[in-house]
């Protein structure tokens, strides 16, 4: 939310958070355009229908037990939604489960299963894209040189063989959706 405020995206920003520690962390930042900050149970957002022009669920859905319930509730309070998830359902799913389990990932996606989730949640997918993590992220995880190599390998593989790439390596998917 702080980055959105600094970029001037939105006159008024609102957030919902599932944990009190998350609410406290947001409060400490004293974000200028923050209009609301609410605790919620993950499925019931305490706002009226279509209260927000745009909702963001970035790296949320892979943690949610009942994804469609969550997305339908987000669609109820937002006119549009941007949802982003990791694409970890690759040929080596067993490794993905083992590696991301400690971070609370319980749902694993391919581009098609992600799109299906959105559509079966009553969303209209306006645009969906698959992309690699950014260079800074890869370098943070693997170091300057190795991170650069991983980034180049991942981005070029996706560019030249997109279907094989997403079956082989983890990527990200983001979708801008309209709500009904």
> Is position 45 within any domain?
no
Residue 101 has pLDDT above 90, yes or no: no
Residue 44 has pLDDT above 70, yes or no: yes
Mean of the per-residue pLDDT values of the chain: 93
| Same-domain pairing of 80 and 114 | yes
**pLDDT above 90 as % of the chain:** 78
| Same-domain pairing of 69 and 108 | yes
> Is position 132 within any domain?
yes
Q: How far apart are CA 86 and CA 4, in angstroms?
A: 21
Residue 13 has pLDDT above 90, yes or no: no
CATH of the domain at 149: 3.40.50.150
| Same-domain pairing of 80 and 155 | yes
Instruction: Give the total number of structural domains in the chain.
Output: 2
| Same-domain pairing of 65 and 89 | yes
* Domain assignment of residue 141, given as a range: 50-178
> Is position 63 within any domain?
yes
| Same-domain pairing of 11 and 72 | no
Q: How far apart are CA 80 and CA 33, in angstroms?
A: 20
| Same-domain pairing of 83 and 134 | yes
| Same-domain pairing of 88 and 169 | yes
Q: How far apart are CA 62 and CA 60, in angstroms?
A: 6
> Is position 21 within any domain?
yes
H or E segment at 93?
A: helix 93-100
DSSP bridge pairs for 39:
17
Q: How far apart are CA 91 and CA 163, in angstroms?
A: 12
Residue 2 has pLDDT above 70, yes or no: no
- The count of other CB atoms within 10 Å of the CB of residue 126 is 12
| Same-domain pairing of 173 and 101 | yes
Q: How open is the CA angle 45-173-123, to the nearest 5 degrees?
A: 45
Q: How far apart are CA 6 and CA 34, in angstroms?
A: 12
| Same-domain pairing of 90 and 151 | yes
Q: What is the pLDDT of residue 107?
A: 96
Q: How far apart are CA 108 and CA 121, in angstroms?
A: 16
pTM of the model: 0.92
| Same-domain pairing of 69 and 17 | no
> Is position 44 within any domain?
no
Q: How confident is the model at residue 33 (pLDDT cuts 50, 70, 90)?
A: confident
| Same-domain pairing of 98 and 28 | no
Q: How far apart are CA 93 and CA 35, in angstroms?
A: 41
Q: What is the pLDDT of residue 42?
A: 83
Q: What is the pLDDT of residue 5?
A: 58
| Same-domain pairing of 9 and 29 | yes
Q: How confident is the model at residue 163 (pLDDT cuts 50, 70, 90)?
A: very high
């Amino acid at each position: 939310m702080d980055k959105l405020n600094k970029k001037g995206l939105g006159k008024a920003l609102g957030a919902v958070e599932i944990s009190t520690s998350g609410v406290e962390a947001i409060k400490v930042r004293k974000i200028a355009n923050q209009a609301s900050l609410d605790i919620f149970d993950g499925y019931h957002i305490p706002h009226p229908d279509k209260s927000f022009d745009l909702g963001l669920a970035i790296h949320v859905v892979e943690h949610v037990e009942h994804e469609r319930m969550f997305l339908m509730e987000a669609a109820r309070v937002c006119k549009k939604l941007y949802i982003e998830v990791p694409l970890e359902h690759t040929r080596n799913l067993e490794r993905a489960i083992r590696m991301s389990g400690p971070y609370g990932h319980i749902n694993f996606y391919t581009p098609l299963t992600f799109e299906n989730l959105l559509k079966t949640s009553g969303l209209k997918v306006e645009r969906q894209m698959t992309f690699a993590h950014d260079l800074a992220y890869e370098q943070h995880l693997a170091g300057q040189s190795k991170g650069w190599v991983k980034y180049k390998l991942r981005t070029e593989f996706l560019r030249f063989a997109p279907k094989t790439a997403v079956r082989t390596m983890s990527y990200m998917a983001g979708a801008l959706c309209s709500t009904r």
